Every structure is written in C-alpha cells, then in structure tokens.
Amino acid sequence: MKIFEKLQALDRRYIYIVVALAIIIPLMIPYNSDVVTTPPTENLYQLIDSYAGRSDRAILISFLHDAATMPELYPMEIAILRHCFERKIKVFTMTFTPAGAPIIDFAINTVKEEYPNIQSGVDYCNFGYKIMPMITALGMGDNIATAIDTDAEGRKLASLPIMKNIVNYNEMNLIIETSGSAAGGTWITYARSKFGANVAVGVTAVMAADEYPFLQSGQLVGMLTGLKGAAEYEKLVDVFAAYRDDYFPNGRPFSKEILRDPSVNKLINITTQTQAVFTPDEFKSFLAKYPDQAANLNSLKQEKDGKIIFDVTKISPDQQKAMGYNLWTALNKKTYNILYKFKVARIGMNAQSIAHIMILLFIIIGNIGYFATRSKEKKA
C-alpha cells in the first residue's frame, strides 16, 4: 500500500523525464523491429508498382501541407518517390499551397542523391505551385500539358520527354495527395467523379478517421496513415522494389507469401549492416557481371563458414573509386544496409511505440494507486 501512496505522490517531472528518455533513446540507438503492413498501404503499393517500366502510365503526388506536418507526411513522400525511382515509374509532383513548393524540392533532391541516372523532365517532373485547384484538376482531365503549360523550371510541358504517351488521367491514372487536413477532396470531386482517375491519400494519424469512409466506399484506392503508414511503405519498398538478385535485377513483384517468409528480416533491419555475404554460387554470378573487376574483388574478399564476405567499411576510398560507381553500389546493396533517410518512419515508430507503452503503464499504475488509496481511506 505504501508503494502506491508513494507513486501517487511522485513528482510528475520524473514521469516526463522517463517518457522523454523512452522517445530519445530509440531515436538515437535504433533497434530492429517489424511493421505489419495493412491492405490500404499494400493496395497503393501494388497499384503504383503495376506502372513499372511503362511509358504510358504515371502517378501524381500532390503535396498539400506545410512544414508543421512533415514528421508524419514527409517519410511517406520519400518512400513513394524512392519506389518510383527504383522501378522506373514516371512521377509528377505539384502543390496547391505555396508552403508545399520547397518541400517538393527537398524531397526530390533527397531521394535523387542515390539515383544519379534519374533526370528531371525524363523520369520525373515537378509542376510546382499552382493556383485554382478546381480548374487545374478539371483541365488535366482533358490535357495535362494544356492545363499546366509549364513546369516549375519554366519548361514547356509538351516538349518534355516524360510527356511522351502521357495525355490526361487515362495515363496519369493515380493521384496521391499528402495532407495534414482533409486530403483528396479536390481530386475525388473532379478527377475521380468526372474522369475516373484513381485517388489515394497520405494523412496524419489524427485525420485518418475522416478518410476511412472514402476508402470503404472505393473512392480512395489506398491510404497511408501517419508514421505507421509511412513505415509500412518503407518496408514494402525494401522487400520488393529495392530487392536485387539474378531473377529480379530490378525489383520483384509484391507477394503476401514473401512478406511472411522469415528471410525478409534481413531486408528490413534498420540497424547498420556492413557485410555483403555471398554463397560461392552467388559470388560467381555476381563476378560474371563485372569480369574486369575479378582480381580486385578477389583481393578484397574474406571467406568464413563457406561464405564469401566483403566488409564495406574496410574498403578504402581509392579502392571504391577503382571499383566504379555501379560495382560499389551493387556491393553496398548486398549488405542490405538501409540509408537513414529511407528508414526514418520505422525509427520514429519504434520511439512512438515505446512512448505509448510507457504512457499506458503510467495510466494503469496511476489508476491502481488511486483506487488502492481510496480503499485504504474508506477502511480507515
């Protein structure tokens, strides 16, 4: 009983310190955890992936938010852009709010750092900030190049290579709007109702309840909900789009069975991975792609327990330069190490989960202490 009395009298500042540490420590020292993907996220991923390699299909991401909601929405945008760049999917971006324009540039430039072959006007195009959402959405249903005219860099849209085989919503057949408020309204009302375009949204967790009716009625084809939705999409990109082997050199198709396979764990670890591990057959196949680098690779490899291992941290900058960009990138991918910017949502979810557990524990302990103290007072 005395324990409960002491807990009831505990200075609340200690509770704030414990909760703060529960958030800060997982952010500073990430640990591996799994994220169970949900149908709204999987459906969106599969629809986007179905456009892979097609010149007559594209997606549009509408950034309808400012910096205040970036912690939840920005990781979604990064994950979707990465998916498109990995799978050679044409992607367009735009915003109907001035604050969204710099966020678009920040997102594209952040992802592009890892894809030097991706070109503006060829693989992606930024429309920038546009006014009059209703008129723009309706005009794009007839002809995108007429409704938009120029992109954010002032180039005539009709003259850009990315516009080849892209005319209207028949080709730009998916609009994803990320927003901290009521997302997707303009596109559902004008693009979907009039032209039959597919619409999906990415929203903050507190706004998800407002969007579920549209999801359940089929007006939305998918939805990413807060940091959890972003973490789910990050996982799907790592397991499928960024996957590489001899059978799937450019990513593999979505599969529920693969998600349930224990081998997936090594693809989604967010702790730093430094070793590229090959079986002898895998290394032989890998070596066949870079025959002129055979001597270099053989001099760097280590053998242990029948496996061939490369520790990328022990390869000097000069040796990296000698390998060339393609080989060094391919070797790095075999470590399954995920760059920080591509795992932000999962790291955040770890911290969020622990914080929620701590708060629930304090609520439970506080209630037990309260009723135990009341019971003692009545007996007295």
- The pLDDT of residue 73 is 98
Taking the C-alpha atoms of residue 253 and residue 159, their distance in angstroms, rounded to an integer, is 33
Distance between CA 278 and CA 281 in Å, rounded? Answer: 8
Residues 76 and 133 in one domain: yes
Q: Are residues 120 and 139 in the same domain?
A: yes
Residue 196 token pair? 């039959």
- On whether both 352 and 331 belong to a single domain, the answer is no
Residue 252 belongs to a domain: no
pTM, entire model: 0.92
Do 7 and 49 fall into the same domain? no
How far does Cα 205 stand from its chain's mean position?
A: 16
Please check whether residues 318 and 234 belong to one and the same domain.
Answer: no
Do 227 and 78 lie in one domain? The reply is yes
Q: What is the 3-state secondary structure (H, E, C) of 169-192?
A: CCCEEEEEEEECCCCCHHHHHHHH
Residue 254 lies in a domain: no
Q: Give percent above pLDDT 90 in the chain.
A: 84
- C-alpha dist (Å) from residue 268 to 43, 84, 228, 274: 20, 19, 15, 14
HSE on the CB side for 35, CA within 13 Å?
A: 31
Assess if residue 12 is contained within a domain.
yes
Strand partners, 278: 308
Residues 355 and 236 in one domain: no
Residues 45 and 133 in one domain: yes
Please tell me whether residues 121 and 196 are part of one structural domain: yes
Question: pLDDT digits over 84-114, tens only?
Answer: 999 999 999 999 999 999 999 999 999 999 9
Residue 218 phi/psi, 5° resolution?
90, 0
Judged against a pLDDT cut of 80, whether residue 7 lies above it is answered with no
**CA neighbor of 78 nearest in space, from 265, 238, 205, 187:** 238
Asked if residue 255 belongs to a domain, the reply is no
Is residue 80 in a domain? yes
Residue 169 placed within a domain: yes
Q: Identify whether residues 363 and 304 lie together within a single domain.
A: no
pLDDT value for 278: 93
Domain containing residue 64: CATH number: 3.40.50
Q: Does a structural domain hold residue 328?
A: yes
- 55 and 118 co-located in one domain: yes
Instruction: Provide mean pLDDT across the span 139-157.
Output: 96
Is there a domain that residue 173 lies in? Answer: yes
pLDDT at 347: 97
Whether pLDDT at 137 is above 90: yes
Residues of the domain holding 48: 39-241
User: pLDDT of 44-81, one tens digit each?
Assistant: 999 999 999 999 999 999 999 999 999 999 999 999 99
The average pLDDT across 11-16 equals: 87
Q: Reply yes or no on whether the pLDDT at 119 is more than 90.
A: yes
- Taking residues 123-134, what's their average pLDDT? 96
Tally the domains of the chain.
3
Residues 173 and 58 in one domain: yes
The pLDDT value recorded for residue 380 is 66
Residue that finishes a domain, picked among 335, 353, 368 = 335
Calculate mean pLDDT across residues 349-376. Answer: 87
